[in-house]
Amino acid sequence: MAGMDINEIMEYLPHRYPFLLIDRVTEIVPGESITAIKNVSINEEFFKGHFPGHPVMPGVLIIEALAQAAAVLSFKTENVKPDGHRVTYFVGIDKARFRSPVFPGDQLLLQAKLLRHTYRVWKFAVEATVNGQVAAEAELMCTEKMLEA
């Protein structure tokens, strides 16, 4: 399936600057996988303190970018858009490994593959790479919760 630009991504994610961590979806196959891009810029707020003189993207934000890609995949798989009545939460992060640092100017290629979906629980294998080199990988589990009106 074709990709998504930032405007369509924002239809599927509630995140906004400075916490929207996906710039483009290059490929998505509902029920299977997604490939997205995060362009890492020196203008990111977190680089002010992580680390002065040696800016490195925090690993937890790489995992968050991967989770956002996985969330888009889950919504596209269900063929629904967030409506303000449900929220997605992490319920598990397993096998997380950080293989190489990510620096300003890098382009993160974010990939998520759906491993399992039962009721409102989703499990994904995720991987972030820069120029073909693995920066981070993990298995993520998320669940949807309905918000009270």
pLDDT band at 132 (very low <50, low <70, confident <90, very high): very high
Q: How far is CA 39 from CA 57, 90, 105, in A?
A: 11, 24, 7
Active site (annotated) includes residue 50: yes
Which architecture, in CATH terms, is 6-146?
Roll (3.10)
Q: What is the pLDDT of residues 36-63, one digit of tens each?
A: 999 999 999 999 999 989 999 999 999 9
CA separation, residue 65 to residues 38, 61, 71, 118, 119 (Å): 8, 6, 10, 23, 24
Give the residue with greater pLDDT, 147 vs 77.
Answer: 77
Query: Domain limits of the chain?
Result: 6-146
Tell me: pLDDT of 149 over 70.
no
pTM of the model: 0.95
* Length in residues, the chain: 149
Options 15, 50, 85, 117, the catalytic residue: 50
Query: Residue 86 — φ and ψ, nearest 5°?
Result: -140, 155
* Predicted pLDDT of residue 145: 83
